[in-house]
Amino acid sequence: MAKPTGFLEYNRQDEGHLSIKERVKNYNEMLVPLSPEEINKQSARCMDCGIPFCHGYGCPLANRIPEFNDYVYQNRWKEALTILHSTNNFPEITGRICPAPCETACTLGLHDDPVTIKHIEYQIVEKGFKEGWIVPQIAPVKTGKRVAVVGAGPAGMAASQQLVRAGHSVTLFDRHENLGGLVRYGIPNFKLDKSIIDRRFEQMKAEGVEFKGGVNVGVDITAGYLKKDYDAVCLTMGAGVARDLNVAGRDLEGVHFALEMLGEQNKVLTGEIQKSDAQINAKGKVVVVIGGGDTGSDCVGTAHRQGAKKVYQFEILPKPPESRPDSTPWPMWPAILRTSTSQEEGCERRWCISTKEIIGKDSKVSSIKCVEVEWQKDDAGRWQMSEVAGSEFEIKADLILLAMGFVHVEHEGAIESLGTKLDNRGNIVVDENFHSNIEGVFSAGDSVLGASLVVKAISTGRKMAAAIDAWLRDK
């Protein structure tokens, strides 16, 4: 145990952020790490409780949190790093952007603020890179088996790294030029700089992962060809079909899916496209973001940095409660009101708002018509939405961003040609070994789960890799 009285002596201290004024000037990461003295105190708050719910219930990766907290407290950072990497390939990603279900399950959180687990994770891995402790782990023996991984998001990256370390030859395909999936082409740089992905990719390349970017499987090469040419195929293609808004005016100029804007901005920052070629910009505009989640919040932060005049964010669901409701008791993930750093930067958030129509002038969006809604349970206990009579309103809008979630993996192309079985939500069906209905074709990440989280993509990617390794060795 780190320090038996630590949780009694020290209060929780979160990492800092650059001031709003400073950070909206550019797209740089805004996180300000805690000092070594402070991080030592924060690790001392871990109680090493009898049943660490953070590890066994909260974290999808089952990160061994009490152990790494203890090592950090003892200043044994290298051991902390080994423990962290034993369950998580990319703590530098989760340490920055995970919503940290480990913290909402922390036992200390029952009657005090939980341990600042996510930031301790960040500190461990950043120290590891700084000290040069993170080096390629090259498989001592090659198996001669070849695996194709389609989709280089966190699920595909984790699976590739695990498989190559197990001695298999791995080719990782992506339709984008660079790897990272939504972490590169969705999540903004101010939350996660793309050099963080490149740094890890260097290790993966040295371990033997062959990356083939700019290859759209199902268009440039067929999935059938991969199946013939490789011993196993992994589909880690994400849940790329965005939920659309079916209202009049949807086709007007200035109405875009969130990822069109976020992806474009990230490409400009890494030089993949020129700023002058970018099609979407919020500068001087009134921006309406439809969707109150993470994606919408990233649009808000990006719009601020592009110089938006005013930003609204509308959510169709009711405003969540400020504190943990009875419906999600500890250690469950609580459905509470959260305010992201982007929302802190200033935006008018409204809940229970539904869009009626988008209005345009000269084929460009000029305003949006909405209505307030209320939610009530019907006799069968299902939530039903109804419009509030007389609550319609119209506001000026120059740019509308649709951030209403994602429905499922793209079906056209690879999935249709393979005949992969889908569930009633359109996700790929796999068994407990991540094996689809097609012999030798496996799947993990958002393609299976539907739109989810990085931590779950890494977790399922790792589990799928272990299952493929066992399957290949069996053969």
Ligand X SMILES: Cc1cc2nc3c(=O)[nH]c(=O)nc-3n(C[C@H](O)[C@H](O)[C@H](O)COP(=O)(O)OP(=O)(O)OC[C@H]3O[C@@H](n4cnc5c(N)ncnc54)[C@H](O)[C@@H]3O)c2cc1C
Q: Interface with ligand X by CB under 6 A: which residues?
A: 97-98, 150-156, 173-176, 181-183, 186-187, 216-218, 236-238, 240, 262, 294-295, 298, 410, 413-414, 445-446, 452-455, 457
Least distance in Å: CB of 448 to ligand X? 8
Least distance in Å: CB of 386 to ligand X? 30
Q: For ligand X, give the closer residue by CB, 44 or 172.
A: 172
Least distance in Å: CB of 37 to ligand X? 29
Nearest by Cα to 182 from 240, 101, 233: 240
Q: For ligand X, give the closer residue by CB, 181 or 208.
A: 181
Q: For ligand X, give the closer residue by CB, 44 or 404.
A: 404
Q: For ligand X, give the closer residue by CB, 6 or 445.
A: 445
Least distance in Å: CB of 391 to ligand X? 30
Least distance in Å: CB of 79 to ligand X? 27
